[in-house]
Protein backbone atom coordinates (compact mmCIF):
# COMPACT_ATOMS: atom_id res chain seq x y z
CA UNK A 1 0.00 0.00 0.00
CA UNK A 2 2.81 2.43 0.87
CA UNK A 3 4.41 1.68 -2.52
CA UNK A 4 1.12 2.52 -4.24
CA UNK A 5 0.89 5.80 -2.30
CA UNK A 6 4.41 6.68 -3.35
CA UNK A 7 3.49 6.00 -6.97
CA UNK A 8 0.47 8.32 -6.67
CA UNK A 9 2.69 11.02 -5.16
CA UNK A 10 5.36 10.62 -7.84
CA UNK A 11 2.67 10.58 -10.50
CA UNK A 12 1.45 13.95 -9.24
CA UNK A 13 5.02 15.26 -9.48
CA UNK A 14 5.62 13.92 -12.99
CA UNK A 15 2.24 14.60 -14.60
CA UNK A 16 2.35 16.03 -18.11
CA UNK A 17 -0.47 17.70 -20.00
CA UNK A 18 -0.59 17.34 -23.79
CA UNK A 19 -2.39 20.52 -24.86
CA UNK A 20 -1.00 22.18 -28.01
CA UNK A 21 0.29 25.24 -26.17
CA UNK A 22 1.96 25.25 -22.75
CA UNK A 23 -0.97 24.31 -20.45
CA UNK A 24 -1.97 26.71 -17.71
CA UNK A 25 -2.28 24.46 -14.65
CA UNK A 26 1.09 22.67 -15.05
CA UNK A 27 2.73 26.06 -15.63
CA UNK A 28 1.28 27.36 -12.36
CA UNK A 29 2.22 24.11 -10.63
CA UNK A 30 5.79 24.51 -11.87
CA UNK A 31 6.25 28.02 -10.48
CA UNK A 32 4.38 27.21 -7.26
CA UNK A 33 6.70 24.23 -6.72
CA UNK A 34 9.79 26.43 -6.97
CA UNK A 35 8.17 28.98 -4.67
CA UNK A 36 7.46 26.21 -2.15
CA UNK A 37 11.11 25.15 -2.17
CA UNK A 38 10.27 21.56 -3.11
CA UNK A 39 13.68 20.75 -4.61
CA UNK A 40 13.01 17.09 -5.44
CA UNK A 41 9.77 17.90 -7.22
CA UNK A 42 11.45 20.71 -9.19
CA UNK A 43 14.11 18.23 -10.34
CA UNK A 44 11.34 15.93 -11.62
CA UNK A 45 9.55 18.77 -13.41
CA UNK A 46 12.81 19.88 -15.05
CA UNK A 47 13.68 16.46 -16.51
CA UNK A 48 12.44 17.43 -19.97
CA UNK A 49 14.75 19.86 -21.76
CA UNK A 50 13.44 23.38 -22.25
CA UNK A 51 13.94 23.06 -26.00
CA UNK A 52 11.67 19.99 -26.05
CA UNK A 53 8.87 21.54 -24.02
CA UNK A 54 5.47 20.82 -25.66
CA UNK A 55 3.84 23.81 -27.32
CA UNK A 56 6.82 26.15 -26.90
CA UNK A 57 5.75 29.40 -28.57
CA UNK A 58 7.73 31.10 -31.33
CA UNK A 59 9.12 34.43 -30.11
CA UNK A 60 11.87 34.57 -32.75
CA UNK A 61 12.59 32.94 -36.10
CA UNK A 62 16.09 32.12 -34.83
CA UNK A 63 15.94 28.94 -32.66
CA UNK A 64 18.70 30.11 -30.31
CA UNK A 65 17.18 33.55 -29.82
CA UNK A 66 13.74 32.02 -29.40
CA UNK A 67 14.96 29.83 -26.53
CA UNK A 68 16.80 32.76 -24.95
CA UNK A 69 13.57 34.77 -24.92
CA UNK A 70 11.73 31.87 -23.25
CA UNK A 71 14.49 31.51 -20.69
CA UNK A 72 14.24 35.20 -19.82
CA UNK A 73 10.45 34.97 -19.40
CA UNK A 74 10.75 31.86 -17.24
CA UNK A 75 13.47 33.36 -15.07
CA UNK A 76 11.50 36.57 -14.55
CA UNK A 77 8.41 34.61 -13.49
CA UNK A 78 10.43 32.39 -11.15
CA UNK A 79 11.87 35.52 -9.50
CA UNK A 80 8.39 37.01 -9.17
CA UNK A 81 6.95 33.89 -7.54
CA UNK A 82 9.90 33.63 -5.15
CA UNK A 83 9.48 37.25 -4.09
CA UNK A 84 5.85 36.45 -3.33
CA UNK A 85 7.11 33.54 -1.27
CA UNK A 86 9.34 35.73 0.87
CA UNK A 87 12.63 36.00 -1.00
CA UNK A 88 14.33 39.37 -0.68
CA UNK A 89 13.51 41.45 -3.75
CA UNK A 90 17.10 42.49 -4.47
CA UNK A 91 18.33 38.91 -4.03
CA UNK A 92 15.66 37.55 -6.38
CA UNK A 93 16.42 40.08 -9.10
CA UNK A 94 20.19 39.82 -8.71
CA UNK A 95 19.91 36.06 -9.21
CA UNK A 96 17.62 36.66 -12.18
CA UNK A 97 20.15 39.02 -13.77
CA UNK A 98 22.93 36.52 -13.17
CA UNK A 99 21.15 33.69 -15.01
CA UNK A 100 19.81 35.88 -17.81
CA UNK A 101 23.36 37.11 -18.49
CA UNK A 102 24.62 33.52 -18.53
CA UNK A 103 21.88 32.58 -21.00
CA UNK A 104 22.77 35.56 -23.18
CA UNK A 105 26.32 34.21 -23.49
CA UNK A 106 25.14 30.77 -24.59
CA UNK A 107 25.98 29.81 -28.19
CA UNK A 108 23.81 26.67 -28.45
CA UNK A 109 20.23 25.81 -27.58
CA UNK A 110 21.54 22.80 -25.66
CA UNK A 111 23.48 25.14 -23.35
CA UNK A 112 20.33 27.09 -22.50
CA UNK A 113 18.39 23.87 -21.94
CA UNK A 114 21.12 22.72 -19.55
CA UNK A 115 21.07 26.07 -17.72
CA UNK A 116 17.29 26.02 -17.22
CA UNK A 117 17.12 23.28 -14.50
CA UNK A 118 20.19 24.75 -12.79
CA UNK A 119 18.41 28.10 -12.46
CA UNK A 120 15.14 26.55 -11.27
CA UNK A 121 16.79 24.28 -8.71
CA UNK A 122 18.94 27.15 -7.43
CA UNK A 123 15.85 29.24 -6.73
CA UNK A 124 14.07 26.26 -5.15
CA UNK A 125 17.01 25.54 -2.84
CA UNK A 126 17.11 29.18 -1.76
CA UNK A 127 13.36 29.13 -1.07
CA UNK A 128 13.78 25.93 0.91
CA UNK A 129 16.51 27.53 3.00
CA UNK A 130 14.17 30.44 3.84
CA UNK A 131 12.09 27.99 5.87
CA UNK A 132 15.15 27.12 7.90
CA UNK A 133 16.48 30.64 8.46
CA UNK A 134 15.55 30.72 12.12
CA UNK A 135 16.67 27.15 12.72
CA UNK A 136 19.98 26.80 14.51
CA UNK A 137 20.52 23.07 14.87
CA UNK A 138 21.59 20.71 12.14
CA UNK A 139 19.24 18.02 13.48
CA UNK A 140 16.07 20.12 13.13
CA UNK A 141 17.09 21.19 9.61
CA UNK A 142 17.59 17.51 8.73
CA UNK A 143 14.14 16.72 10.14
CA UNK A 144 12.52 19.36 7.94
CA UNK A 145 14.27 18.03 4.85
CA UNK A 146 13.17 14.50 5.75
CA UNK A 147 9.56 15.60 6.24
CA UNK A 148 9.42 17.29 2.83
CA UNK A 149 10.88 14.21 1.16
CA UNK A 150 8.41 11.80 2.81
CA UNK A 151 5.06 13.59 2.75
CA UNK A 152 3.56 10.55 0.99
CA UNK A 153 4.30 8.38 4.05
CA UNK A 154 3.31 8.28 7.70
CA UNK A 155 6.07 10.09 9.58
CA UNK A 156 6.57 9.52 13.30
CA UNK A 157 8.65 11.32 15.90
CA UNK A 158 10.45 8.04 16.55
CA UNK A 159 11.37 7.76 12.88
CA UNK A 160 12.74 11.31 12.83
CA UNK A 161 14.63 10.80 16.07
CA UNK A 162 16.30 7.72 14.63
CA UNK A 163 17.11 9.62 11.45
CA UNK A 164 18.97 12.39 13.33
CA UNK A 165 20.29 10.15 16.14
CA UNK A 166 18.55 11.97 19.00
CA UNK A 167 16.30 10.96 21.87
CA UNK A 168 12.61 11.46 20.95
CA UNK A 169 11.85 13.68 23.95
CA UNK A 170 14.87 15.87 23.35
CA UNK A 171 14.12 16.17 19.62
CA UNK A 172 10.51 17.12 20.35
CA UNK A 173 11.59 19.90 22.74
CA UNK A 174 14.30 21.11 20.35
CA UNK A 175 11.96 21.18 17.37
CA UNK A 176 9.26 23.08 19.27
CA UNK A 177 11.82 25.59 20.53
CA UNK A 178 13.35 26.30 17.13
CA UNK A 179 10.33 25.98 14.81
CA UNK A 180 7.64 27.20 17.19
CA UNK A 181 5.33 24.23 16.73
CA UNK A 182 5.30 20.53 17.53
CA UNK A 183 6.63 17.97 15.08
CA UNK A 184 3.21 16.43 14.51
CA UNK A 185 1.62 19.83 13.89
CA UNK A 186 4.38 20.78 11.45
CA UNK A 187 3.95 17.53 9.51
CA UNK A 188 0.18 18.00 9.43
CA UNK A 189 0.48 21.53 8.07
CA UNK A 190 2.93 20.52 5.34
CA UNK A 191 0.70 17.65 4.26
CA UNK A 192 -2.26 20.03 4.11
CA UNK A 193 -0.27 22.52 2.02
CA UNK A 194 0.59 19.71 -0.39
CA UNK A 195 -3.04 18.59 -0.40
CA UNK A 196 -4.13 22.12 -1.34
CA UNK A 197 -1.72 22.09 -4.29
CA UNK A 198 -2.99 18.69 -5.41
CA UNK A 199 -6.59 19.87 -5.24
CA UNK A 200 -5.83 22.88 -7.44
CA UNK A 201 -3.22 21.45 -9.82
CA UNK A 202 -4.40 17.86 -10.33
CA UNK A 203 -7.64 15.98 -10.87
CA UNK A 204 -7.04 13.50 -8.02
CA UNK A 205 -10.12 12.84 -5.91
CA UNK A 206 -10.00 13.83 -2.21
CA UNK A 207 -9.95 10.13 -1.31
CA UNK A 208 -6.84 9.61 -3.46
CA UNK A 209 -5.13 12.63 -1.95
CA UNK A 210 -5.94 11.48 1.58
CA UNK A 211 -4.44 8.07 0.82
CA UNK A 212 -1.44 9.46 -1.07
CA UNK A 213 -0.49 11.74 1.82
CA UNK A 214 -1.02 8.96 4.37
CA UNK A 215 -3.94 10.48 6.26
CA UNK A 216 -5.66 7.80 8.42
CA UNK A 217 -8.91 8.10 6.44
CA UNK A 218 -10.73 10.35 4.01
CA UNK A 219 -13.11 11.48 6.75
CA UNK A 220 -10.21 12.53 8.96
CA UNK A 221 -8.59 14.32 6.02
CA UNK A 222 -11.84 16.19 5.30
CA UNK A 223 -12.30 17.06 8.97
CA UNK A 224 -8.77 18.38 9.48
CA UNK A 225 -8.79 20.16 6.10
CA UNK A 226 -12.00 21.97 7.03
CA UNK A 227 -10.55 22.87 10.43
CA UNK A 228 -7.53 24.58 8.86
CA UNK A 229 -9.13 26.18 5.78
CA UNK A 230 -12.79 26.56 6.65
CA UNK A 231 -13.66 24.64 3.48
CA UNK A 232 -14.12 21.02 2.49
CA UNK A 233 -11.59 19.71 -0.07
CA UNK A 234 -14.23 19.91 -2.83
CA UNK A 235 -15.14 23.48 -1.88
CA UNK A 236 -11.47 24.46 -1.80
CA UNK A 237 -10.88 22.96 -5.26
CA UNK A 238 -13.85 24.77 -6.76
CA UNK A 239 -13.01 28.14 -5.18
CA UNK A 240 -9.26 28.12 -5.80
CA UNK A 241 -9.44 26.83 -9.34
CA UNK A 242 -11.39 29.96 -10.23
CA UNK A 243 -9.03 32.22 -8.23
CA UNK A 244 -5.93 30.67 -9.81
CA UNK A 245 -7.37 31.03 -13.28
CA UNK A 246 -8.18 34.70 -12.64
CA UNK A 247 -4.66 35.39 -11.30
CA UNK A 248 -3.09 33.78 -14.34
CA UNK A 249 -5.17 35.74 -16.78
CA UNK A 250 -4.28 38.96 -15.02
CA UNK A 251 -0.54 38.32 -14.79
* Interval 164-196: pLDDT, tens: 999 999 999 999 998 889 999 999 998 998 888
Question: pLDDT class for 52, splitting at 50, 70, 90?
Answer: low
* Torsion sign over Cα 15, 17, 22, 26: negative
199 has pLDDT over 70: yes
pLDDT for position 207: 94
CATH no., domain 138-250: 1.10.10.60
Alpha-carbon gap, residue 213 to 116, rounded angstroms: 30
Q: Which of 50-64, 90-104, 133-147 has the lowest mean pLDDT?
A: 50-64
Alpha-carbon gap, residue 71 to 73, rounded angstroms: 5
Which of 106-110, 134-138, 245-249 has the highest average model confidence (pLDDT)? Answer: 106-110
Domain boundaries of the chain, sorted by first residue: 14-130, 138-250
pTM exceeds 0.85: no
Amino acid sequence: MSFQKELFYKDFVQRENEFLRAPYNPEIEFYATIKAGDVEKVKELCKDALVDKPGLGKLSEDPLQNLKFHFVVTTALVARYCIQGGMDLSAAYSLSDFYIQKADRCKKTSEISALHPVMCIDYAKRMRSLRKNAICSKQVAQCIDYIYDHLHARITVEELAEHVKLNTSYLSRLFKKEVGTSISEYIRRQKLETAKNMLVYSDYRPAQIASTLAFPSQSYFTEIFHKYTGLTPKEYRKQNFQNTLSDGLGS
